[in-house]
Amino acid sequence: MAAANEPDYDVIVLGAGPIGQNVAERARAAGLTVALVERELVGGECTYWACVPSKALLRPVIAVSDARRVDGAREAVSGPINAAGVFGRRNRYVSDWDDSGQADWVSGIGAALVRGHGRLAGARRVTVTANTGATSELTARHAVVVCTGSRPVLPDLPGIDEARPWTNRRATDSSDVPGRLAVVGAGGVGVEMATAWRGLGSQVTLLARGSGLLPRMEPFVGELVGRGLAEMGVDVRVGVSVRALRRAAGGQAFLELDDGSELRADEVLFATGRAPLTDDIGLETIGLTPGSWLDVDDTCRVRAVGDGWLYAAGDVNHRALLTHQGKYQGRIAGAAIGARAAGNPVDTAPWGRHATTADHRAVPQAFFTDPEAAAVGLTAEQARNAGHRVRIVDVEIGNAVMGAKLYADGYAGRARMVVDRDREHVLGVTLVGPGVTEMLHAATIAVAGEVPVDRLWHAVPCFPTVSELWLRLLEAYRDASDHN
């Protein structure tokens, strides 16, 4: 039994970012009492240092680029982007890093907000240390949910501390445009921030250790995004690694590369991976390893913990380090906790089974580069490795789709559809080109719903939109089927 000064809640959530908020909202909808514990800003990484500020920085860059692709509009675009205006827009979207509105939302759903660093202190128990050093003890009747997210990983390189590199946080909250920026890493953060800061006026060099950009997507994605970056003026270098760094007395940083050359920059951004923020949340008190990813089942229950009281949603479970996927997991976890608390099975919910099935086969992702890149489901290689017999169809969007030609003069983009030949449904779709991120959800529905190809023929795309691409993909699939 908890002591008199130890508040009891049905559910305690560690982390009040978007994932934790979704857990709390679904648990409250089930009639459970909830405490949200947050050590930084309510709203989390996505709201203040990732998704929201990065897209606020990128949108003006892409908007200008889109205008320059249209005869009659490009003549109206003159002069550089107003960086101060872009930073002001970014600041508005992050509420000047003031979380009072988000805190009010927590209160509005009837959850308790507990500010401080939450650490597990045994089964169903959490200790919260406030900024003042004061501590409080919380007890959960049903569940504790870890939604603490992830942190950037910096490689162990000589001179890296001296170089004082940027991570995603500095890359999205800075209001000074560096003259020269070196971006190390060719994943989503690397290519997006190279796009944003080049558009804002930096001379950007992008260093990719591997053979291409965005290596987890179809190979043509990196080719087209790399070409777009180069056309913007980014110095894209692939197959190169950083050996060491130093920062001179005058403030400039120098990167020693493994090809023997040296690169000079005013700032260096490392976008080289993420690690779970679980090193200081008390995992050792329940027999788990601090700093580890938390392996979960499809209701986000942590498998290694008995009695099923510990859950983990979002980045910490390492299923898909994407905000929208974490929010989806949060909704599933909150609903599953509510069902179990009421003694109900989790596979008979009115809105479908409480299981994160999308994590396995229908994860969408979008990168706001120039051109944009978007994908859902399996790549061709992933599908083959999973044992599927596949048919692959590719369409050059600018050649085949009138809506694309109207969208941008000289539209350059490509789409790929991967189809299971045995079941005749779509396993994956990849899109590259201006504006393609807004078409991603149609592909996601096709993949998640396992819609048969012969039914997709009856989903008529509106002419003359870019989404007429779907008709061209189906025609390409029909033609490929006729010849095999």
Q: Which helix (H) or strand (E) holds 249?
A: none
DSSP E strand stretches across 216-293: 235-238, 242-247, 253-257, 262-265, 267-270, 274-276
Query: Which residues carry a binding-site annotation for FAD?
Result: 55, 118, 148-150, 315
Which residues contact residue 45 at a Cβ distance below 8 angstroms, ignoring those fewer than 6 apart? 17, 149, 150
* Helix, strand, or coil (residue 462): coil
DSSP state of 42: T
Q: Structure tokens of 292?
A: 């580890």
Whether 64 and 71 have beta carbons less than 8 Å apart is answered as no
The kind and range of the H/E element at 448 are helix 440-448
The rounded distance, in Å, linking the Cα atoms of 157 and 477 is 48
User: From CA 418, how far away is CA 301, in angstroms rounded?
Assistant: 32
Numbered residues of the known binding site: 55, 118, 148-150, 185-192, 273, 315
Q: How far is CA 129 from the centre of its chain?
A: 29
Q: Which residues pair with 296 in a beta bridge?
A: 302
Count CA atoms closer than 13 A to 338's CA, side-chain side: 22
Q: Distance between CA 107 and CA 448 in Å, rounded?
A: 34
Binding site feature residues for NAD(+): 185-192, 273
- Please enumerate, as own/partner, the contacts of 82-89 that have beta carbons within 8 Å and a separation of 24 or more: 83/177, 83/200, 83/201, 84/175, 85/60, 86/56, 86/57, 86/60, 86/200, 87/175, 89/56, 89/60
Sign of CA dihedral 280, 284, 289, 293: negative
244 Ramachandran zone, left/alpha/beta (phi>0; psi -120 to 50): beta
d(CA 297, CA 314) in angstroms, rounded, equals 13
Round to whole Å and give the CA distance between 301 and 320.
16
Q: How far is CA 181 from CA 90, 258, 417, in A?
A: 20, 19, 36
- Contact 183/190 with Cβ under 8 angstroms? yes
Gap between the Cα atoms of 182 and 270, Å rounded:
8
Distance CA 62, CA 68 (A): 10
